[in-house]
A and B are shown apart, each in its own frame.
Chain A
Amino acid sequence: MKTIKILKIIISVYYYLLIMAFIMLMISFSIDLLITDTTKIPKILNLPSLFTEMKTNLKIVMFILAILMFYVLIKALHNIKKCLIDLSYGTIFSQDVVSSFKKSGMFFLIAGFVELLTQFVLAFFDNGNFRILDSSMILYFVIGLFFKFLSEVFLKGLNLQQENDLTI
């Protein structure tokens, strides 16, 4: 159970860092749109040069995609965090754990699609290189499918436990 506790701490830290990064992105984008003179922007709030050089329309599209990506990842981590709490308390086979794993898998799959869409938008509107085999995209799909599979395994475990409980 020690490993679960360590994992819970790591996921929680990552979850809150992601929320902070999301807030920073919102602030940075608002400043980028409002202040045209980039020298006046504090260095910590500066967006990457790739982003600041984009046209405003593309910037907005990219911002929406970034928000979507952050939202999806935060939701996925929230669900992992939720099921890790159950697992750390010793509730291994429960409907909550199964549904949390399933939702996490779904959100990671959506993150993969958002990444694919981002690559496509960048390639189409900004003459970037469209890489269908982007490593992070594949990672999101793999993690998503793995979590979906894990939810099926836990569902089978739950059924076996219920069967065992009803064996007298």
Chain B
Amino acid sequence: MLVKRNMKSKELAEIIGITTANMSILKSGKAKAVRFSTLEAICKALDCQPSDILEYVNE
């Protein structure tokens, strides 16, 4: 999604107001949970739906 929007992780982190460390946790999938406010901010910044950035993987 970031590539589609031609945006860097650092830029997105600045727009949605989280640290780059937290952004890296989100990208690596290490996060235990995502707040609705964060999800809303990401969707707003990337102009997309939650389904575009979330994927269920059966482990």
Contact = CB atoms under 8 A, between A and B. Distances in A.
A166 interface: yes
A1 interface: no
B30 interface: yes
Interface of B: prevailing SS:
loop
Contacts of B33: 163, 166-168
A145 B26 CA distance: 40
Interface residues of A, number: 5
Interface residues of B, number: 11
Interface in B9-58: 18, 22, 25-26, 30-35, 38
Interface string A33-57: 0000000000000000000000000
Interface of A: 162-163, 166-168
Q: 4 nearest interchain CB pairs?
A: A166-B32, A167-B33, A168-B22, A163-B32
Given A166-B33, A168-B25, A168-B35, 11 more contacts: A162-B32, A163-B32, A166-B31, A167-B31, A167-B33, A167-B34, A167-B35, A168-B18, A168-B22, A168-B34, A168-B38
